[in-house]
């Protein structure tokens, strides 16, 4: 039935004429039916995903011009009737792979490949809205314990939005709480700089294996989780000009205007000091500089994806 998940062994015939056999259900959600499956065809694995009802053609139009970018996972086949997209299958993601014993060069190369994909999206005025380590996939080889990355692709383009120049996404809480930008927390204007902020936080995770906004499970589950996470935003990245720029960006009428001011003032009240990322002198200076340009709290001042790719931290490995 169209409103029931597919079961292992079920077969699908894509528009390409290729027949896919469902191997397992990776994620299941109903009402609406939004499931993810691993399928096989002609000796290869694929991912099959339900599209949000009514968005099949919109997503096709959004992803088609991105299909030439090797660092973006775009649809390779589909079934318009049940609104199913079929994608390449990749072995793992940044969230898991970062935990392995990787060289600094490998970590940098991973980030550069992913950033190239993000730049391709931004070149076409498309924002991803949910940049996080488990939305960046990769294939690799393990030869006698030496890990070699073969392919890196940003995935989950289904939440992406086309924004004409000068336009922003508003009143939306986008992304995952540990990776989203401060303006998204405030449901203020969001655009390509919001993706860049998230990518900066991902970069810290990939290079240093640290989730800088990770707090306790209780705080993450709290109704006011924003309070605990935004305090970390301010602690690590809240230099004065960037903080003032963020306040100007969201505007006095936004409830987060006063919330952010109160959070900034809480450091003095509690007798605690901020912990600016830029002062972590044990971290490579060029990397600190790149992250600082990506994570300034003022969206108007953040570096672009193309500018980031030209940063000396990436260039020094060429």
Tens-digit pLDDT profile for residues 30-73: 878 889 999 999 999 999 999 988 999 999 999 999 999 999 99
The two tokens of residue 283 are 């971290």
- Report helix, strand or coil for 233: helix
Q: Enter the DSSP assignment of 190.
A: B
Per-residue confidence (pLDDT) for residue 306, from 0 to 100: 98
User: Using omega within 30 degrees of 0 as the cis cutoff, is the peptide bond preceding 32 cis?
Assistant: yes
Output the CA torsion sign for 91, 92, 98, 99.
negative
Helix boundaries (H) for 40-93? 56-63
Q: At what angle do helices 240-250 and 255-269 cross, to 10 degrees?
A: 150
Under the banding of pLDDT at 50, 70 and 90, the label for residue 318 is: low
Q: For residue 1, what pLDDT is reported?
A: 45
Residue 146 forms beta bridges with which residues?
143
**What's the pLDDT tens digit per position in 19-35?**
999 999 999 988 788 89
Asked if 71 and 121 touch (Cβ cutoff 8 Å), the reply is no
User: Does residue 180 contact residue 70 with C-beta atoms inside 8 Å?
Assistant: no
Mean confidence (pLDDT) of the chain: 94
> Which domains, and CATH codes, for the chain?
11-88 (3.30.200.20), 92-315 (1.10.510.10)
DSSP code of 72?
A: B
């Amino acid at each position: 039935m169209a409103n029931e998940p597919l079961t292992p062994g079920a077969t699908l015939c894509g528009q390409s004429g290729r027949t896919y056999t469902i191997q397992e259900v990776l994620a299941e959600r109903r009402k609406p039916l939004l499931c993810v499956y691993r399928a096989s065809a002609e000796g290869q694995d694929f991912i099959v995903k339900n599209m949000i009802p009514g968005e099949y053609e919109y997503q096709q139009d959004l992803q088609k011009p991105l299909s030439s970018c090797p660092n973006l996972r775009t649809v390779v086949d589909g079934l318009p009737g049940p609104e199913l997209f079929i994608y390449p299958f990749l072995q793992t993601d940044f969230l898991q792979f970062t935990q392995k014993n990787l060289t600094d060069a490998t970590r940098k190369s991973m980030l550069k490949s992913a950033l190239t994909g993000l730049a391709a999206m931004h070149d076409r005025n498309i924002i991803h809205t949910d940049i996080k380590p488990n939305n960046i996939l990769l294939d690799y080889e393990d030869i006698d314990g030496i890990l070699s990355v073969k392919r890196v692709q940003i995935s989950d383009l289904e939440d992406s939005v086309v924004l004409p120049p000068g336009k922003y996404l508003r009143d939306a809480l986008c992304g995952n709480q540990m990776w989203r930008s401060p303006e998204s927390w405030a449901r203020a204007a969001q655009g390509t700089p919001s993706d860049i902020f998230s990518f900066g936080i991902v970069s810290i995770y990939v290079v240093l294996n640290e989730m800088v906004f990770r707090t306790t499970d209780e705080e993450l589950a709290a109704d006011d989780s924003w309070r605990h996470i935004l305090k970390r935003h301010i602690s690590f990245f809240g230099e004065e000009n960037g903080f003032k720029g963020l306040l100007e960006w969201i505007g006095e009428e936004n409830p987060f205007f006063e919330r952010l001011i109160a959070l900034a003032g809480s450091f003095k009240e509690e007798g605690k000091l901020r912990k600016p990322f830029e002062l972590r002198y044990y971290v490579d200076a060029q990397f600190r500089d790149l992250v600082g340009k990506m994570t300034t709290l003022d969206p108007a001042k953040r570096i672009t994806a193309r500018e980031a790719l030209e940063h000396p931290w990436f260039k020094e490995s060429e």
